[in-house]
Amino acid sequence: MRDCLNHRAGFDRVLMTVAATFLTVSASSALAQDQARSSAAELAIEAAIPRPEPANVPPPTAADIKLDTTATLQDAAKEPAKTEAAPSPDKVEPKPSDVATTPATEAPKSETAKTEPAKTEPAKSEPAKADTATVTPAAPAAPAAAEAPAAEPVKAASNVPAADQPVADKLKDIIGAKTSRHFDRKNERAAIEKFYGARDFAPVWTQGGSLTPAAKGVIARLKDAASDGLNPADYPVPDFAAATTPDALADAELKLTASMFDYARQAQSGRMHWSQVSGDILYPEHPVDPNEVLAKVTTAADASAALDSYNPPHKLYKELKAKLAELRGLGNGPAIEIADGPALKYTPAGKKQAEIVVEDARVPQLRAKLGIAENANDTRYDAAVADAVRKFQSGAEMKATGILDDKTVKALNTPKRDKQIDVVLVNMERWRWLPRDLGAPALGDAYVILNIPDYTLKVMQRGQQVWTTRVVTGKPGTHATPLLTETMKYITVNPTWNVPPSIVYNEYLPALQQDPTVLQRMGLKLEQNRDGSVHISQPPGEANALGRIRFNFPNKFLVYQHDTPDKNLFARDDRAFSHGCMRVQYPDQYASVLLNITMPNEKYTPERVRSMYGKSEIDLKFPTPVPVNITYQTAFVDDAGKLQFRKDVYGRDATMINILKNNRGKDLEAVVAHSQPSYSRPATTLPSGVAVANNGGGFGSSGPNFFERLFGPPTPPPAPVGRRPQRVFTR
């Protein structure tokens, strides 16, 4: 019996083990199936959404579920299964927005509220949210939407005021027609299309038919164009008062815009392009951008000032503008008359005679007339007065004697106002050609400015004159010094003079026909290439035509500034004697000033520069180039505030006055093509007896050209400052 019980107990243990194993396997299988049914996204959502406690969620009642009033009966009847298939309350999960905005204790109310359609916005009402995953409001609404007629596309609302809409429509038609009735320049037409298109073609100069403040400012500036040396007739102002229809207002709108463009363009760059005057002028272009003009003027607090800002900002231009007003009778102060009397002459001291200074009661008036501020009441006709009289005579195209005679007194009392006004006008015009920034910002706005008719050179920095000297410039005609803006990149001490081809073929070779030894006696070296062309040079030295220093600002005219062994010419009043280059009176001082501006830590002095004089070329390169502006100022205001006139040595004034007066209606802003300077070296047969340095053993036509001989390669590699062997090119 005991054995049976023992066997039965063992059997029970086996059954219990099998049952436990079966239950374990079943549970694992069910768990695996449950996990398989839950995707990764579902598990992430369930983990992210907090669940309310099941005990706090009562089962929904019939009152909690309301019918969708936006659905039809037919659609509602088709969905009974989905409504009955709603999960039990313990499976209902509130939306994150519900949980975030509603306390947990009010969760049932939140769910109930969600099932009701919005009372204030019927279009957004929703069906019951008992199961947001299965009840979709868009489906039952689709048939109703399909039955409604197709709605017409809604036209975008216009930002144009109703009073201006008719004008805007006309502007759109005119601008869209792409005709050139108002704008001939493509960039201006493109700017108009962009500007007005961005504002729905609303007018900018009128509002409800009345002029805007911007329009009044622009009109005032255009009507006062004469004060800036421009012609108001070139910028017509439409009659807005007579424009009573949308067509007329739209036409006036575009006409005023066109006049504004013309003013801004000519105020900045000039009424005539510099190429209209001569082929030896080269200034950088700085055209206006019509898009910028529209944006700047129409948004400015003062449209007149904004438009006026396109005129040159330079101090000398503004001073000429003030003097123009005085010449036109708009200035202040009484006219000064010089009485008749004996001729007054100043005689400087000489080797055998003392200085002779005469006195006269008219001299104080003469000092005031000529703008001599020092010793205003002094009655002596001294060197300062005589020099001022001499400059006046030169500007009046009289013989510059410095003697106050009857002819000079008459010229002082009855100046040719009309001619002086014309001279001031063309000088203001030439200021428009120059760059707006004359200097280098990295060097404290330093620059060099040379005035050809005044024969002076000035170094400027931070708006102040740093240094000045006298210069000799080119002779009138083919050797005139060109007008240009370039950058001085380096100084050459002990330069070689590579004679320009024009001098070689027009002067030296004809001289060789008369005297084969003339070049040897002048210390010049002649080299002939295999192609028969000739190159003449002069080695460095005291007698070199360039003196001891050359100031290099490479340009297409091949001109530069340099020293000279002929110092006597600087004592003359008229100093137009060179072949186009500019000779500087004190080159060692000039070099030290420029070197101290570009390399202030090097502490250059004129003595240090002179210590480099020798027979080998030395290039001193500037880390930052210095702008050089060659100008032609026959009218300017001096440091004492006096309007000065200089002789029109190259006839530039006469040419410009003639163009402005006799070419009305022509496009003077167009660029005129000129023949470029020729530096060709044709083959030449030399007369017998001429000494040739290389005896035909030089390079062929592939050797360095004249520009490279003069200034080196176009982009020379950087070299250390200091002495280096003389550069020798064998041609």
In this prediction, residue 676 has a pLDDT band, given cuts at 50, 70 and 90, of confident
| pLDDT greater at residue 512 or residue 632 | 632
The neighbour count for residue 629, using CB atoms within 10 Å, is: 20
| Listed ranges 13-17, 138-142, 347-351, 595-599; the one with the highest mean pLDDT | 595-599
Tokens 């006049």 belong to residue: 259
pLDDT score at 14? 56
pLDDT score at 5? 46
Residue 28 structure tokens: 């694992």
Rounded CA separation 504/535 (Å): 8
Q: Say yes or no to pLDDT of 472 above 60.
A: yes
Phi-psi region of 396 (alpha: psi -120 to 50; beta: other; left: phi over 0): alpha
Rounded CA separation 378/372 (Å): 11
Tokens 């009309």 belong to residue: 418
In this prediction, residue 178 has a pLDDT band, given cuts at 50, 70 and 90, of confident
3-state helix, strand, coil in the chain (%, to 5): 40, 15, 45
In this prediction, residue 156 has a pLDDT band, given cuts at 50, 70 and 90, of low
* Under 8 Å between Cβ of 438 and 627: yes
Tokens 């009305």 belong to residue: 664
* Under 8 Å between Cβ of 276 and 393: no
Rounded CA separation 198/312 (Å): 31
pLDDT score at 418? 82
| Listed ranges 150-159, 308-317, 371-380, 698-707; the one with the highest mean pLDDT | 308-317
Amino acid identity of residue 714, one-letter, is P
Q: What is the mean pLDDT of residues 174-199?
A: 90
pLDDT score at 690? 80
Q: What is the mean pLDDT of residues 646-659?
A: 96
Mean pLDDT of the chain: 80
pLDDT score at 528? 87
In this prediction, residue 243 has a pLDDT band, given cuts at 50, 70 and 90, of very high
pLDDT score at 46? 54
- To the nearest 10°, the Cα dihedral for 311, 317, 319, 321? -50
Q: What is the mean pLDDT of residues 134-138?
A: 43
CA atoms 676, 681, 687, 693: torsion sign: positive
Q: What is the mean pLDDT of residues 39-48?
A: 51
What's the Cα-to-Cα distance from 301 to each of 115, 212, 293, 376, rounded to whole Å? Answer: 58, 12, 14, 45
Lowest-pLDDT choice from 61-75, 193-207, 397-411, 647-661: 61-75
pLDDT score at 391? 86
Rounded CA separation 258/251 (Å): 11
Q: How many CA atoms lie within 13 A of 634 on its CB side?
A: 25
Rounded CA separation 195/206 (Å): 15
Lowest-pLDDT choice from 90-99, 445-454, 636-645: 90-99
Residues 6 or more apart in contact with residue 262 via CB below 8 angstroms: 234, 235
Question: Can you list the alpha helix ranges (DSSP code H) found in 647-694?
Answer: 652-662
In this prediction, residue 532 has a pLDDT band, given cuts at 50, 70 and 90, of confident
Q: Say yes or no to pLDDT of 11 above 50.
A: yes
Packing angle between helix 290-299 and helix 186-198, nearest 10 degrees? 40
pLDDT score at 320? 97
Rounded CA separation 87/84 (Å): 9
Of 686, 654, 373, nearest to 509 (Cα)?
A: 686
Residues 6 or more apart in contact with residue 30 via CB below 8 angstroms: none
DSSP one-letter string for 103-156 = -GGGHHHHHHHHTSPPSS-GGG-----TTTTT--THHHHHHHHHHSPPPPPPPP
pLDDT score at 85? 43
pLDDT per residue as tens digits for the range 260-272: 999 999 999 999 9
* Phi–psi pair at 158, nearest 5 degrees: -85, 145
pLDDT score at 413? 84
Classify residue 356 by its DSSP letter. B
How much of the chain exceeds pLDDT 90, in percent?
57
pTM of the model: 0.67
Residues 6 or more apart in contact with residue 337 via CB below 8 angstroms: 365, 413
Dmax over CA atoms of the chain, in Å, equals 174
Q: How many CA atoms lie within 13 A of 582 on its CB side?
A: 32
Q: What is the mean pLDDT of residues 128-141?
A: 43
The neighbour count for residue 607, using CB atoms within 10 Å, is: 9
Q: What is the mean pLDDT of residues 531-537?
A: 88
Residue 289 structure tokens: 């951008």
Tokens 């007194």 belong to residue: 409
Mapped onto helix, strand or coil, the DSSP state of residue 449 is strand
pLDDT per residue as tens digits for the range 71-101: 443 444 444 444 444 444 444 444 444 433 4
Residues 6 or more apart in contact with residue 339 via CB below 8 angstroms: 362, 365
Rounded CA separation 107/56 (Å): 8
* Under 8 Å between Cβ of 272 and 430: no
In this prediction, residue 458 has a pLDDT band, given cuts at 50, 70 and 90, of very high
pLDDT score at 17? 65
Q: Say yes or no to pLDDT of 700 above 50.
A: no
Rounded CA separation 538/553 (Å): 20
Number of helical (H) and strand (E) elements in the chain, helices listed first = 25, 19
Q: Say yes or no to pLDDT of 383 above 90.
A: yes
Rounded CA separation 247/254 (Å): 11
In this prediction, residue 480 has a pLDDT band, given cuts at 50, 70 and 90, of very high
What's the Cα-to-Cα distance from 235 to each of 262, 328, 491, rounded to whole Å? Answer: 7, 21, 47
Q: What is the mean pLDDT of residues 300-327?
A: 96
Classify residue 309 by its DSSP letter. T
Classify residue 326 by its DSSP letter. I
pLDDT score at 366? 92
| Listed ranges 144-158, 583-597, 675-689; the one with the highest mean pLDDT | 583-597
| Listed ranges 29-33, 486-490, 526-530, 716-720; the one with the highest mean pLDDT | 486-490
Q: Say yes or no to pLDDT of 314 above 80.
A: yes
* Under 8 Å between Cβ of 479 and 578: yes
| pLDDT greater at residue 535 or residue 414 | 535
What's the Cα-to-Cα distance from 26 to each of 14, 29, 276, 319, 635, rounded to whole Å? Answer: 18, 5, 104, 106, 112
pLDDT per residue as tens digits for the range 60-69: 555 555 544 4
**Consecutive H or E run containing 511:** helix 509-514
In terms of Cβ atoms closer than 10 Å to its own Cβ (0-12, 13-18, 19+), residue 371 is: middle
Q: What is the mean pLDDT of residues 599-617?
A: 96
